[in-house]
Amino acid sequence: MTTNATELPVFPWHRGCPMAPPDQYAEVRESDAPVRKVPLATGRTAWVVTRYDLIKQVLADPRSSSARAHEGFPYYIEIPEQFKTDCSFIGWDPPEHTVHRRMAALSGAFTKKRVLDMRPRMQEIVDECIDTMLELGPPVDLVGELALKVPLTIMCGILGIPNKDQAFLHSCTEILFGGGSSATQRAEAIERVGRYLEELVISKENDPGEDLISRMIKKYRDQDMYDRREMCNLTRLLMNGGHETSTAMIAIGVMTLLEHPEQLERLKANPQLVPGAVEELLRYLSPGDLATSRIAMEDMQVGDVLVRKGEGLILVGMSANRDPRVFEDPDTFDLERGDRNHLAFGHGLHHCIGSDIARTELEIVMTTLFRRIPDLRLAKHWSELRYKDGNVMYGVYEMPVTW
Amino acid sequence: MATVTYRQPDGTVTVLDVPAGSTVMRGALTNGVEGIEGECGGDGICATCHVYVDHSPVPLPEIDENEGELLDCTSSPRKPNSRLSCQLPVTEELDSLVVTLPATQV
Ligand code: HEM
Ligand code: FES
Is residue B54 one of the residues assigned to a domain? yes
Distance B4 CA to ligand 1 centre (A): 34
Total domain count, chain B:
1
Of B45, B65, B72, the CB nearest to A351: B45
pLDDT in tens, A182-194: 778 888 888 898 9
| Minimal-distance CA residue to ligand 1 atom 27 | A242
Of A60, A105, A112, the CB nearest to B45: A105
Is residue B105 one of the residues assigned to a domain? no
C-alpha to C-alpha distance for A276 and A171, rounded to whole angstroms: 34
Q: Is the pLDDT of residue A6 over 70?
A: no
Contacts of A21-26 with CB under 8 Å at 24 or more apart are A21/A286, A21/A289, A21/A318, A21/A319, A21/A322, A25/A50, A25/A316, A25/A318, A25/A319, A25/A322, A26/A319, A26/A322
Residue-range definition of the domain harbouring residue B81:
2-100
Q: Which residue in chain B is spatially nearest to A342 when comparing CA positions?
A: B39
Q: In this predicted structure, which of A324-328, A375-379, A394-398, B79-83 has the lowest mean pLDDT?
A: A394-398
Is residue B95 one of the residues assigned to a domain? yes
Asked whether the beta carbons of residue B45 and residue A348 sit closer than 8 angstroms, the reply is: no
Asked whether the beta carbons of residue A60 and residue B40 sit closer than 8 angstroms, the reply is: no
Q: Which residues of A touch B (CB under 8 A)?
A: 56, 59-60, 98, 101-102, 105-106, 111-114, 340, 345, 347-349, 351, 353, 355
Asked whether the beta carbons of residue B45 and residue A112 sit closer than 8 angstroms, the reply is: no
Is residue B106 one of the residues assigned to a domain? no
Helices (H), B31-78: 65-71
C-alpha to C-alpha distance for A55 and A66, rounded to whole angstroms: 14
Is residue B51 one of the residues assigned to a domain? yes
Q: Which residues contact A77 (CB under 8 A, 6 or more apart)?
A: A12, A41, A42, A390, A391, A392
Pairing of strands A387-388, B13-18: unpaired
C-alpha to C-alpha distance for A251 and A247, rounded to whole angstroms: 6
Q: Is B96 helix (H, G, I), strand (E, B) or coil?
A: coil
Mean residue pLDDT across chain A: 92
| Minimal-distance CA residue to ligand 2 atom 3 | B44
Taken in order of first residue, the domains within chain A and their CATH numbers are: 5-402 (1.10.630.10)
Any atom of ligand 2 within 6 Å of the Cβ of B105 = no
Q: Is the pLDDT of residue A2 over 80?
A: no
Distance A345 CA to ligand 1 centre (A): 6
Residue A348 or A53, more confident: A53
> pTM, whole model, 2 decimals?
0.91
DSSP annotation of A63: T
CATH number, position B28: 3.10.20.30
DSSP annotation of A55: H
CA A399 to chain B, closest CA, distance in angstroms equals 32
pLDDT in tens, A86-124: 899 999 998 899 889 988 887 878 877 788 899 999 999
CA B8 to chain A, closest CA, distance in angstroms equals 20
Contact B50, B76 (CB under 8 A): yes
Asked whether the beta carbons of residue B39 and residue A111 sit closer than 8 angstroms, the reply is: no
Angle at A377 between CA A373 and CA A383, to 5 degrees: 150
Q: What is the pLDDT of residue A179?
A: 65
Any atom of ligand 1 within 6 Å of the Cβ of A104 = no
Any atom of ligand 2 within 6 Å of the Cβ of B48 = yes
- Measured in Å, how far apart are chain B's first and last C-alpha atoms? 30
Asked whether the beta carbons of residue A349 and residue B106 sit closer than 8 angstroms, the reply is: no
Any atom of ligand 1 within 6 Å of the Cβ of A73 = no
pLDDT in tens, A114-158: 888 999 999 999 999 999 999 999 999 999 999 999 999 999 999
In A, which residues are within 8 Å of B45 by CB distance?
Answer: 101-102, 105, 349, 351, 353
Q: Which residues contact B46 (CB under 8 A, 6 or more apart)?
A: A351, B37, B38, B39, B40, B70
C-alpha to C-alpha distance for A87 and A292, rounded to whole angstroms: 14
Is residue B84 one of the residues assigned to a domain? yes
pLDDT in tens, B43-74: 787 888 999 999 999 999 999 988 998 898 88
C-alpha to C-alpha distance for A394 and A256, rounded to whole angstroms: 14
Q: In this predicted structure, which of A106-110, A250-254, B78-82 has the lowest mean pLDDT?
A: A106-110
Distance A339 CA to ligand 1 centre (A): 20
